[in-house]
Every structure is written in C-alpha cells, then in structure tokens.
Structure 1
Amino acid sequence: MQELNMQSPNWVNENSKFIAERFPNCVTETAEGFKVDFDLLKQELSTDLVEGNKERYRLEWPGKKEAIVTANLPTTKTLRPVREDSVDFDTTENLYIEGDNLEVLKILQESYLGKIKMIYIDPPYNTGKDFVYKDNFSKDSQEELYESGQQDENSRRLISNPDTSGRYHSNWLTMIYPRLKLARNLLCKKGIIFISIDDIEQHNLRKICDEIFGEENFIANIIWQKKYAPQNDAKYFSDSHEHILAYSKNKEFFKIGLLPRTEEANKRYSNPDNDHRGPWKSSDLTRAEYRPNDDFAIVNPINGMEFYPPKGNSWRQPKDKIEELISENRIWFGVNGDSRPSLKRYLSDVKQGITPQTIWERKDVGDTQEGKKRVKEIFENASIFETVKPHRLIHRMLKIANVKQGDTVLDFFSGSGTTAEAVLRYDCDLKFIQVQIPEKTDLTSEAHKMGFDNICEIGKERIRRAAKKIKEETGADIDYGFRVYRLDESNMKDVYYKPQEYAQDKLDLFADNVKSDRNPDDLLAQVMLDWGLPLSLRIQQANINGKKVFKVAENSLFAYFDDNIDEDFAKAIAEEKPLRIVFKDSGFKDDTAKTNVKQLLKQLSPETEMKVL
C-alpha cells in the first residue's frame, strides 16, 4: 500500500522534471544532485548566441577536482608480507596484494614506475545496483571508517550507488579517475592498458582515458561477445556484449602483437597450378580510377587472349612490371586461361600472424559462461562466482600487448584471479601483480559456506589450484608461486613520511619507532618499497658472522634488523660488497659501534650505501 507523503508538493522538483522531459541536455549532475543548467536552457530558448561561461571540450563532473587531489595525496601505509598464504615466497616473482587498490597503487609508484608491460582491469560496473569504492582517507581507525560510511558492518570499503542518485555517474567517475591516473605511471613506454566496461559508462570512460592517456594513444574499442543465449525477458535489447578499451602509454613505441594464423585463414590459400612458391590466393589487378598509361592489353602467353581493364579503370601495375610478373608465373589467368588476370599473393609472403580485429567472438576468446565453468572446475563444481572473465580473453590481450619473457602484468581489480591464471598459461614465463580489496563474501553464499571469508581468499586459492593443474598438464618450467602482501599502516610509530622522501636526515628520526607487532619481514618489505626496489626481487637469508641477514637480488640490498651490530660484523658485510645495506638504529652495540661501522663501510666498501631505521 502506498504511503501518504504528508507534505506539500515540491514544485521545484516537479518543474525540473518538466524541463528535463523537454530539454534533457539541460539537466546535469551537481554536488547536490540533479539540477537545471540555466545557462544552457537560456541558449535552448534563444536563436541568438547567449554569452556565458567559456566553453571547453572536456568532461566535467562534481568531484573531479577531488579525484585529482586524491590521486596526488601521499600515503603513509605499507605492505606487510603474509608468508603463510604465499607459495615459494623467497623465490617467486609474482605478487598478490590485499588492500584498497588506490592506496596500493600509490605504494607501488616508485618501485614499479615505468615497469609494467600490460594492465588489465575489470572494475565494478555502474549498474545502479552494485557498489563503488569510496575514497576518503582523512581518518584511519576502523570505528571512524564505519561511522563515516567508508566501510560497512562487514568492513567493506564500498558504498551503494543507485541509479536514482543525483551523483550516479559522478561517484563512479570520481572512483575510477585517480586509479587510472596512477596506473598510467606504472606502464612502461611500450605498455598498454585494457579496461572492461559496459555501455553505461563506456562513453565517459573513453573521455577520461583520452584525458589521462592522451587521445592520440587510443588503440581500440573492442566489442566482446560475452554470451550467446539471448535474454528473452530483456525490455528492449538482450545485452550480449561488453566493451574493452585499449590505450597505449605511448603509441610511438607500442608495437602491437599479431594473433596466430588460423586454419580458416590459411584455407583461403591454395595451389591449383602447383606453383613451386607454395599456396597462394588471387588479388585484383585493377585500380578504380583511370590512368591512360596503365590502360593496355594484358596478353596470356599460352593462348594469346587479350584482357583490358574495365571501362573507367586501369591496371595497378605498369606494362613492363606486368610482363615481368607474367614471366615469373605470378599472374593467374584462371584454370582454362580465359579469366581476367589476377595477381598471385603467396602465403609465404604474408605476415606471420593476423592483425587483431575489434570484434571478439565467444568462439575465439570464450564467454562468461566459460569463465564460470572454469572456476567451478577448479573448486570442484562449487559456484563461487556468477560472472567471470574467461582466461582465453586475457590470453588474447597478452598476445596483442606483445608481452615477452619476464614482462610484468598488473590487474588491480583482481576478483577471481583470472588474469593470474592467464599469465601462468601463457607461452612464456611472465610475472603478475594482482591487487584486490578483501571484500567480505555474503553470509549465504556458497563461497562463505566453503570457508572463504572474503574475495582475496578465493583469489589466492584459485591461483594455487590453477597453478597445480597447469603444472600437471604442461610440466612447463615457470614460476608457479606468488608472494602475498597485505596493506597496513606504517611499521613506524607516529612517523609519517612520503616514500620518496626516504632521506638519511629523516631516517634518523625513526630510531626505536618500530611498532612492537612488526617483524623483520615487515621491515624488509617497507625498506624495499621506500628504496624503490620491486617486491618481486629474489630474497635469501644468509649467515654472516653468526647473524641472519636478508639478501635481496644477490647484493642489491642487505638488511639486518636485530641487535649487537659491531665492527666485526661490519667487516664481514663489507667483504660481500652490497650496493645497499640497512640496519635498525637501535641495533648497534653502542654509539661508538654505530660510528665505527659507518666509517668501516665507507673505507672497505665505498660503493655501499648505508641507511638505518
């Protein structure tokens, strides 16, 4: 039963609705909701040019400035290793990071600046029913996050975004903008980003990407057939496709990868005359314009028949070139020798691949049903995810991105972990970085009943199981492991700094400021990030002078965070000639030892850069 409004009519809203029906372009989103753009309405009601604000070709929305500021704000957070959830922690170069991707992208800025070959993301779509991230990092305690609406009762950093909201598009744009801005920094100059999106925000996302990546770096708007069976209950059209926007970091350096030639494509070539150059197909010799010099008779040397170009056309080649091609048996006159001449194009001369097209059919790259089926197989027929991208879809992107051995692929809306599986299944040994917010699973879901409290737990388990299956199927000698890191507050007590400001004069402030619940693994991760070293570097533990020392990438970094650092230890370290070394400030035996260690390193290993926590 409909309830009484118990208030007088809101004529402003009613009149605004009337205007919106007649002039929909004059109603726009503002910080307070839908409003009438009176300047534009004046122009609609006038045949003369109405002077107003200076026009610009750009996308604006309430919250855009906030989004730009959000991307530029520094972070004090760090990443803490979770060894118990990892596979081959010390040797693997793959990463799985749990946490809000905006903060994680900020943390990765220095260590992975210009080092990512391909990024793929499948962000939450703005359907009016789903959630979008809310980025307000001014308060950090769990209680304040909950009270401010940044997290719900299940600690999800998400907010509902119904299509009736006056900031329906604005909320989504404010969420995606800073993430893409930071992501661009991580791409190498040959890199490319692929973004899955539906029709609702595709046009806005295109404008955002034009602004962030540059309109000149637009590669393609790919149409992917995500499903085959039509939705007969659809009101207008059955939605059977999604968009994938592709942008390069710099089109001048990006080289697109060709797709493997298919059997169907090769069938177009045959060899009816047993040409020693192999299979060929005929190509038209005529040009759709008239050039007098190229209007002549081509004579079949076998039977003397003459052929002229159609009226108004001419041959593509001059007479002497045609005669040369005939002498080389490169002109075809048909089986009976009475067909208009055509040029032979040989399979051996074509590119060793096919230029990608912008329409991707499900038979070639899979659909959501295939993706769902794959996850069900991995989890022993359990329905964990309803909509999953197939790994064949990501595989095609990897081909087009022209990834090579050792390249890194990033997905910061990792979800079920499809990108990681696609990387593991690829033709060469690649590295992946997966980032996912630990969104809680629904208490009534099958995933929760199986013991998965959040999406990260599902993603990690999928990668473990997929890696095991791939290794059994292929036996390929690749990196099947991954290191797990979890977003957290700084390891230092009440000290806030920008990662790029990790200078010696500031490091001295950190003495005895390590939080009591942090271990050497935590400190090493933060040191690597602060020093701009990739978290994927190989980590070893060596015994030097009776002390366990972390060695990162052979001699790139040595780290020791325990006590009793003295001159003898410094001499032993100096023999290893590390490029960098870090100690805990409170770990020196005494002040004299601290001074002597510094001087000994300068004397015995002058190339070593020493810092302290």
Structure 2
Amino acid sequence: MHSSDLTQRNIDAIAELFPTVVTETVDTEGNPVRAVDFDALRQELSDHLVEGPQERYQLDWPGKRAAAFAANAPIAKTLRPVREESVDFDTTKNLFIEGDNLDALKLLQESYLGKVKLIYIDPPYNTGNDFVYEDDFAESSADYLARSAQRSNTGDRLVANMEANGRFHSDWLSMMYSRLKLARSLLTDDGVMIVAIDDHEHANLRSMLDQVIGPDNFLASVVWQGSGKNDARFTSGGIDYMLIYARTKSKLIEADVRFKAPKRGYEDVMAAAQRCWAESGGDSVRATELLRAWWRSKPDVEPGLAAYSDIDADGKVFTRDNLRSPNPRENLMYDVPHPRTGQPVKRHPNGWVYAKARMQALIGEGRILFGDDHTTTPRLKRFLSDMSTQAIRPLVLQERAPASDALARLLGAKYFDYPKDTGVLATWINAATSDDKKAIVLDFFAGSGSTAHAVMNLNAADQGNRRFILVQLGEELDPGSLARKRGYATLADVARERLRRAGAQVKEQAGLLGFDLDVGFRSLHVATTNMADTFTTADDLVQFALAEAVASVKPDRTDEDLLFQVLLDWGLDLAEPVAVEEIGARRVLSVADDALIACFADEVTDAVVKEIASRHPLRAVFLDAGFASDAARINTEQIFREVSPGTEVRAI
C-alpha cells in the first residue's frame, strides 16, 4: 500500500555497480538496514585518495583506500605475444600471461568483462615467511600513469612480509583487495570465485570477500585436510580452506545450479553387484544375499551407499526409501489402494511425498513396493544407477604428497613442495562449470600451473572445451634452487614447461579421444605500452630532432605486438586465431576470419587499402605513420565509406 522505496532501489543499483560501498547501519528504531558508505563511494568515483573515515561495520586496515585506488587507476601497459614460449600459438584458446597480476587484471577488463565462469586462486599465504606484492599507489592518477609506464622489470614488485612488520596483515590485505575488486568484474553473472587460504588470514579474507562480492553471495567454506604433524602441541594441523562465492547467488538458484561430485565407491558397488548377479545366475534373491554378504566386508565407500543392498529381477541395485512428506500439504493427503486387497494403504500423517499424478506414474513403473496387504506402508524403489552423484562435500581429505610426487615425475625433478592436487581442483572446476563445458577458468596466482593442468585433465575426461587463463609473475628463482640449476630462470618458466609436458601427457593418455583437445597456450608478457614516449613539446623540438619525433611506435616492437594492443583496446578475445598474409607486398594480419584486419606497414598504398576494404572486415586498423600525408589518411576513410561502409576504421 506504499509507493516504491526509491532510496532502497537506488541503494540496490549502487550495490550492483559497487558492492564494496554497501554497509550496515541502524534506522531510527535500532533495526539494522543496508546503507551506502559515501566515503567509499567517493573513492570509487575519484582519481585521488579521499580522506574521511567514519565509524561503520566493516573490515578496515591501513592502506585500504590506497588499495581501492590502485584497482581503479589506469595503466599505460600492454600484452606482448611470445611465440617461441607458446604451444599451438595459432590455434589454442588458452592464455599464459607473465607479469604482475594487478596489471594483467586491468588489461583483461575490456576483453573478458563478465566472461569468466570460474576464478580459482591460491594466493601466497600470509605466514610471515612469504612475499607479497608491493603496491605503493598513494599518488594521483596522472603520477601513477607516468610511473607505471616506465617500470618494465616486474620482479621488483615482490617484498618480504615478515611478522615483525607492523603492517603484517595490512600489506597482505591491501595486496588482495585491489586484485579481488578487479577479478569480480570479470565473472559472468552465474560465475564462481574460489580462493584458497590457511588459518592466518581466513577470517580477514572472508570479511574482505563479503565486502567485495557481497555476503549474500557466499556459498561455502571448504576444509581441505592434508597431512598433519603428529608432534604438534594442540592439533595436527595441515588444514587449508577454500572460500567459495558466487558473482550473483540468486542467478545460480534461478538456474537450479547444484554442485555435484561422484559418490566415492559408487563404481565399486556397481561392480560388486554385477559379480553377484552373474554368480547367482540371474536369481534376484540369491544375488541380494551375495551383495549383502559383500557389504558386511565394509568396503571404503560413502555411508549413504550402504542402503543399496537389494537386487531386483532385472539385476538393478536398489534401496527401499520412505514416501512420507516432510511437511503436511492438502494435495498430498489422498488414498492409495493396495493392488491386491483394494483397501487404502497405511499413510503417514504428513501425507505422501509425491502428488497424486506422480504417485500413479511411479506405481505404473513398478517403483512403488507394496507390502502383503494394506496394513503396511509402501516404500519407494530407488535405483543406485540414479544416485551416482551427490551434493559435493565441504570437506576434502587429500594428502599433498601424491600431487608433489606426480609433478616431480612429470618435470623430472622436485621443484615445488606443495603443488595443489589436480584431482581435487578438477572436482571443483567440474562442479562450477558442468553446465558450461566451454567456460573460461582464470587463475591469476598460477604458481606451478596446477589449475591449467586440472582443466586439461577434466576436458579429456568429459570431452569439454574449457579454456584457461593463467597469470604468473616472472619471479626469479633462488640461484641455489634445483630449478635454477636446471636452466629455469623464473617461476613462470617452470610453469610453462609443466604445461607443455602436461599437455602432451594428457593428449597421449586420451588416445583417439584427444585428437581435438586444446592443450596449447599463447604466452603473453605484461609490458610497457608499444607507443613511443613523446614527452617533448613542440616548442622544444629542434630541426634535427624532428625525424626522431615522427615514429609513434617503439623500435623493438613488432606488428603482432601492435595487434595485441589493438585487441585489448577494442576489447576483443586475445585467443582469436590470427592469420598472416601479404597484400600488395605488405604484411597483413587477419583476426578471426576478417573480424579485424591490421596493416602496420611503414607505407600504406591506396591499392592495399582497397584490397582490405573489398574483404568487408568488421574492423580495420593501420599505423598512422604509414600514411604519407593527412590527405592519404582521409582518402583511406573515404575508400572504406564507399567500399565497406560497415567497417570501423582506426589508426594508431
């Protein structure tokens, strides 16, 4: 009986755009209500640090505002392709990006905004011994833009974060906050984010994710029990966690998304039942006796499977389930006649679990098991074959040693102490992407590359086409480490080698089914912009310097470098196929069957322009310096207006 609450509607709209600015307060009657943190909103809309702390319910730490600013500040950087580090560069849909993940996440915003189905990250744990990223962005947007464009060595971005540091927690939280804010925007509406963490920052990380993604989107806190220490003082430890959030939980509920996993021991029970059926000669009574005897040996399977101890005349394993409704409803209160006596059978006070039409259908299928007469309550015949999966368990029991040993065998040496188990990762990747086997999976703390390895294994298992994007800093390895002695300079080098070997192994094991498997990756490096620095003003230019000021592209950059910067600027998929050809003796790059044609030749003729326009590409791009004069560039635009008016033309 009231008009719409426009204030609340506006808060909802702001929450969708900026979930980190929505907090709690109390109304005039002391009831908790949602409200907007205007200081935080000002920061989201500002290009400089905003002061003005006020009391509110939220996780706070020194440097939080600077971290929020770091997420929003622009950078003058690009991604450079490196063919020699790649596998199947021309055909693969997978990406491996070497560089600072904060820069990488910013560069991916246009091309992959709202397109990533699953983000899994295993960030550095804040144990007092590891390194964190140093993000010192307490400066204006202009200052940051100038500075970031000139920093080419990303290795100096890691600093030790010892417990003696007064900002022990703050530095780690700041490092994570800016990256999580950027990562959220890459998720699809039904996307999921999984973050691995240990006890040191579990509570803080969950509070931060509540702010960044929203507490209503929390799905689970999974406990991963690995190997413990028997000489520990209180508990054996060995616990890690996975905090799981949905981009929009309501979207998952609307689509009836359910995280499922295979039941442990399901295949063992089915195999035992088949042996019992064969040994009994097709006698259901004898087969049931044999199966129940097998169950008494207590095999290691899910407890819920133990109820499936009967075998019917068709050799199917089943259990007898109850038919009572958990809650009484009028449409569930009806009589069911016994097939032999014709009298209504005994019914639970709550009624049946199924409506009358569904019950009649089950009776017709022989799925309702009646007693000798109407004085007993019938049971539901539930087949084991319909119960091969279960709701995924929030407890993982998996030692880390097998994963470490498997990776050591693959690489020929033990370079990593605690790599993630690809089987466990594949289980959760499958749970989040089972409805979309072409999903993009992102890991921007790639480490040894376990996430990509798990994606390849999963695709081989279910013939999926999931894609991965990995981001890993080119962190230099310790000079005394085994990997360094074996010729690897950085952690990214080792990860790429792992993907090469894992891809070959997965394809070999898949046999004929692995023919179409994508086990390649495009290697890209975060780098400064391709465009030359032109900070000299016109008044300061002298005659001999004019020639040097003409070139707009750095001398060490290739046409493929320029192409990938154009893909980023236009927001196109960085994994689109690229074809190299010649038109009028000029090298031309065609992306995705002429969705984009690029010609970065030093001299572009009208004949070349006309040939490109005749192919009617969606987009065409040239090097500005490639035109002999302004008139030549204007003439190019006129040619496209006449020959291919639908083409979007640019010059860089």
TM-score interval (norm. to shorter): 0.7 to 0.9
Measure how far apart 1:75 and its partner are: 0.8
Query: What corresponds to 2:501 in structure 1?
Result: 465
Query: What corresponds to 2:404 in structure 1?
Result: 372
Q: Distance in 1 between matches of 2:259 and 2:534?
A: 47
Classify the secondary structure of the residue corresponding to 1:354. Answer: strand
Classify the secondary structure of the residue corresponding to 1:233. Answer: coil
Measure how far apart 1:566 and its partner are: 1.5
Query: What corresponds to 2:589 in structure 1?
Result: 550
Give the number of equivalent residue pairs: 530
Query: What corresponds to 2:223 in structure 1?
Result: 223
Measure how far apart 1:187 and its partner are: 0.7
Query: What corresponds to 1:250 in structure 2?
Result: 248
- Per-residue CA deviation, residues 370-402 of structure 1 (Å, 9 max, x unaligned), is 22112101112x110001001111101111112
More displaced 10-residue stretch of structure 1: 252-261 or 446-455: 252-261
Contact 2:225–2:396 (8 Å) recurs in 1: yes
Query: What corresponds to 1:494 in structure 2?
Result: 533
Measure how far apart 1:353 and its partner are: 3.3
More displaced 10-residue stretch of structure 1: 156-165 or 523-532: 156-165
Q: Distance in 2 between matches of 1:491 and 1:575?
A: 29
Contact 2:312–2:318 (8 Å) recurs in 1: no
Contact 1:296–1:308 (8 Å) recurs in 2: no
Q: 1:284 to 1:107 in 2, by over 3 A?
A: same
- Per-residue CA deviation, residues 557-579 of structure 1 (Å, 9 max, x unaligned), is 11111122111111111111111
- For the pair 1:456 / 2:492, whether they are aligned, the reply is yes
Match of 1:573 among 592, 609, 612: 612
Query: What corresponds to 2:94 in structure 1?
Result: 94
Q: Distance in 2 between matches of 1:573 and 1:286?
A: 71
Query: What corresponds to 2:469 in structure 1?
Result: 433
Query: What corresponds to 1:69 in structure 2?
Result: 69
Q: 1:495 to 1:340 in 2, by over 3 A?
A: farther
Q: Distance in 2 between matches of 1:93 and 1:223?
A: 33
Structure 1 unaligned spans of 5+: 1-52, 497-509
Classify the secondary structure of the residue corresponding to 1:401. Answer: helix
Q: How does 1:287-302 map onto structure 2 within 5 Å?
A: none
Measure how far apart 1:286 and its partner are: 5.3
Q: Distance in 1 between matches of 2:80 and 2:186?
A: 21
Classify the secondary structure of the residue corresponding to 1:163. Answer: coil
Match of 1:240 among 229, 238, 241: 238
Corresponding letter in the other structure for 2:438: G
Q: Distance in 2 between matches of 1:608 and 1:343?
A: 67
Measure how far apart 1:96 and its partner are: 0.6
Q: 1:447 to 1:586 in 2, by over 3 A?
A: same
Q: Distance in 1 between matches of 2:419 and 2:185?
A: 28
Measure how far apart 1:474 and its partner are: 0.8
Q: 1:348 to 1:78 in 2, by over 3 A?
A: same
Q: Distance in 2 between matches of 1:318 and 1:386?
A: 53
Q: 1:592 to 1:424 in 2, by over 3 A?
A: same
Corresponding letter in the other structure for 1:280: F
Q: 1:495 to 1:287 in 2, by over 3 A?
A: same
Q: Distance in 2 between matches of 1:299 and 1:488?
A: 77
Corresponding letter in the other structure for 2:647: T
Match of 1:393 among 414, 424, 430: 424
Corresponding letter in the other structure for 2:617: P
Q: Distance in 2 between matches of 1:92 and 1:308?
A: 63
Measure how far apart 1:595 and its partner are: 2.3
Q: 1:349 to 1:469 in 2, by over 3 A?
A: closer
Measure how far apart 1:195 and its partner are: 0.7
Measure how far apart 1:459 and its partner are: 0.3
Contact 1:257–1:402 (8 Å) recurs in 2: no
Corresponding letter in the other structure for 1:588: F
Query: What corresponds to 2:321 in structure 1?
Result: 283
Match of 2:559 among 516, 520, 523: 520
Q: Distance in 2 between matches of 1:339 and 1:370?
A: 56
The structure with more helix, counted as a fraction of residues: 2
Contact 2:439–2:466 (8 Å) recurs in 1: yes
Q: Distance in 1 between matches of 2:82 and 2:338?
A: 77
Match of 1:410 among 426, 431, 442: 442
Q: 1:561 to 1:78 in 2, by over 3 A?
A: same
Measure how far apart 1:599 and its partner are: 0.9
Q: Distance in 2 between matches of 1:123 and 1:203?
A: 15
Query: What corresponds to 2:7 in structure 1?
Result: none
- For the pair 1:178 / 2:178, whether they are aligned, the reply is yes
Q: Distance in 2 between matches of 1:96 and 1:300?
A: 65
- Per-residue CA deviation, residues 326-346 of structure 1 (Å, 9 max, x unaligned), is 897655467x98996352142
Contact 1:549–1:558 (8 Å) recurs in 2: yes
Query: What corresponds to 1:346 in structure 2?
Result: 382
Measure how far apart 1:466 and its partner are: 0.7
Q: 1:611 to 1:222 in 2, by over 3 A?
A: same
Query: What corresponds to 1:135 in structure 2?
Result: 135
Q: Distance in 2 between matches of 1:54 and 1:247?
A: 28
Query: What corresponds to 2:169 in structure 1?
Result: 169
Measure how far apart 1:299 and its partner are: 9.5
Q: Distance in 1 between matches of 2:173 and 2:241?
A: 17
Q: 1:293 to 1:67 in 2, by over 3 A?
A: closer
Query: What corresponds to 1:540 in structure 2?
Result: 579
The runs of at least 4 aligned residues of structure 1 exceeding 4 Å deviation read: 137-142, 264-267, 270-273, 285-310, 313-334, 336-340, 348-352
Q: Distance in 1 between matches of 2:75 and 2:359?
A: 72
Classify the secondary structure of the residue corresponding to 1:447. Answer: helix
Measure how far apart 1:347 and its partner are: 2.3
Query: What corresponds to 2:272 in structure 1?
Result: none
Classify the secondary structure of the residue corresponding to 1:204. Answer: helix
More displaced 10-residue stretch of structure 1: 461-470 or 288-297: 288-297
Q: 1:331 to 1:581 in 2, by over 3 A?
A: closer
Q: 1:587 to 1:222 in 2, by over 3 A?
A: same
CA RMSD after TM alignment:
3.5
TM-score, L = length of structure 1:
0.78
Q: Distance in 2 between matches of 1:326 and 1:168?
A: 65
Q: 1:593 to 1:386 in 2, by over 3 A?
A: same
Q: Distance in 2 between matches of 1:580 and 1:288?
A: 60
Measure how far apart 1:285 and its partner are: 4.5
Q: 1:465 to 1:302 in 2, by over 3 A?
A: same
Q: 1:484 to 1:293 in 2, by over 3 A?
A: closer
Measure how far apart 1:267 and its partner are: 6.2
Q: How does 1:291-330 map onto structure 2 within 5 Å?
A: 316=352, 330=367
Contact 2:437–2:466 (8 Å) recurs in 1: yes
Q: Distance in 2 between matches of 1:590 and 1:97?
A: 38
Q: Distance in 2 between matches of 1:160 and 1:515?
A: 34
Contact 2:319–2:384 (8 Å) recurs in 1: no
Measure how far apart 1:131 and its partner are: 1.4
Q: 1:238 to 1:339 in 2, by over 3 A?
A: farther
Contact 2:332–2:356 (8 Å) recurs in 1: no
TM-score, L = length of structure 2:
0.74
Q: Distance in 2 between matches of 1:417 and 1:280?
A: 42
Q: 1:474 to 1:59 in 2, by over 3 A?
A: same
Q: 1:314 to 1:489 in 2, by over 3 A?
A: closer
Measure how far apart 1:208 and its partner are: 0.9
Q: Distance in 2 between matches of 1:292 and 1:422?
A: 49
Q: Distance in 1 between matches of 2:340 and 2:457?
A: 55
Q: Distance in 2 between matches of 1:589 and 1:284?
A: 84
Measure how far apart 1:590 and its partner are: 3.8
Structure 2 unaligned spans of 5+: 1-52, 138-142, 270-303, 536-548
Measure how far apart 1:117 and its partner are: 1.0
